[in-house]
Chains A and B, each alone.
Chain A
Amino acid sequence: MIILQTDRLDKSYGPVHAVNHLSLTVEQGQVYGILGPNGSGKTTTLAMLMGIVAPDSGTFSWFGQKPSPAVNRRIGALIETPNFYPYLSLEQNLKIVCRIKGIEEKDIPRVLALVGLRERSHSRFATLSLGMKQRLALGSLLLGDPDVLVLDEPTNGLDPEGIAEVRNLIRQVAGTGKTILIASHILDEVEKVCTHVVVLKMGNKLAEGRVDGLIQGKELVILEGEDPEKLKSALAESDLVESYRQTGEEFQIALKNGVNNAELNKELIGKGIILTRMEVRKNRLEDQFLELVKQSNPAGL
């Protein structure tokens, strides 16, 4: 079942093209990551999907329905910062959410316990630490046990322990068959919790697909030899090679599962073939991931 479908969603802020004709499909049970550096249009996309920013053009549907407040009530969403009334207690704040969504107030202790804030239920929101605020926001969107969660940088501002907790929580929730849409600029995070991913950069979709297929895809080995003809026939005979393609003197080789480039090298040496170049090129998407992450984290990883 399709949970979310967007059709050429487009949004500009003045000269900045925040989201460029973005089309996505999210199916039930997927943990769908939107990966991209800061300013790539992740938050704008989610803001459009939740009705707080109007798209310039394009359409989207949730559960096959047009966007509406009733649709939003079926979704637990956290976009950017956790927003609550600072002068109200956690419980009072969650009561308001319950009223809006038509959820029984008796669900409040359950979610507060789930995010470890049960003892703080009578504290004012303003007295919480950043990590606790983030956890409260997560608790708030779990109220009423919605089938779909929308999370925007859910581990932002958390300490390593908090990050681990939140990721565990997401995996735990995902394990119950819920659909989760999660925006992040951290490759590691997407890799750890998502099943599917779309990569955005400057509002453009660079790639999308299954996380395991895209990130852990086969490596490409690039070879050049002193004698291309001899190299070609050796590759054609080799049991290690799944396929190869020749471009000029350069061969791009996909190895069979479980084979590494050293084994291939050994075999070629055994046949007396001298290589002038051997390069392992990672999957194209991972290159993009790294490039994106580099941009959002100039110090490098």
Chain B
Amino acid sequence: MLIKKATDIPSSEITSEYVYRNRRQFLQAAAATLTAAGMGALVPTSSFASSKYDTEEMRTPERDVTSYNNYYEFGTGKDEPALNAKGFKLRPWTIAVSGMVKKPATYHIDDLLKGITMEDRIYRMRCVERWSMVIPWRGFPLATLINKLEPLPSAKFIKIQTLYAPDRMPEQRRPILHWPYTEGLRMDEAMNELTLLAIGVYGKEGPAQNGAPLRLITPWKYGFKGVKAIAKIEFTDKMPLTAWAEEAPHEYGFYANVNPAVDHPRWSQATESRLTGGLFDQLRPIKTQLFNGYTEYVERMYRGMDLRVNF
């Protein structure tokens, strides 16, 4: 019998203490999901399937989700990405996987996604600029892909980068940020059940301005964490220097967790303006929740950490 040494088990595969201690709850939740899924089949409410992670809040209309974007590669105005990303080709597309991983290679995206089931999840998205949306994403857990790629136990972080192609992403010709846009997660954050790679919104693939063909979604973090048009994934033992932290280190940190108690130097983060298609909704700002309301799923990862220092 082959006995594996402890170090052979990548940290991503170790069941966290929290999940272990709460395994009964976990099973109950799983059972509830199955029941809910059964009910869902009887009461079809929309074109996309519901998940246990869905928020019941009013969704931001599709037109707004796809025409109001922060995507500096296609322009710094919110309406520019929808216009400038119009002809952006989503195929062919390759993703270079490198670093501390068993299967480093440059993959065609369709090979990488083969066999992965897409799901729809309605998440809140909170931008650091104080606006928020409720968006149905189509995608899959990042954990699924990470497990496929088999990171080495030494990998502590995942670094994810946008495509660098100034001929296709016009604003990359100007030094607005240090291109390509770089983001990163700690391995446990990357493996979190909430963390998604999205291929689209509102039950379909695309559009490009929302980050297609592949983008990151971490609903408990500020929106800028959601690196778009992913072309590079690196497993590393060093905390990646993320784009905004490089641009303004005193304003943006690595973690970027939504936290009403930790202000951005230029904006109070205590409240947010929910974009659901009306001015009068906006005139009643809602209170921002710690971890954007996803505490039950993520709080355990930050126990004992000072969130004011690790912002």
Same complex for A and B? Answer no
Give B contacts to A, CB under 8 Å: none
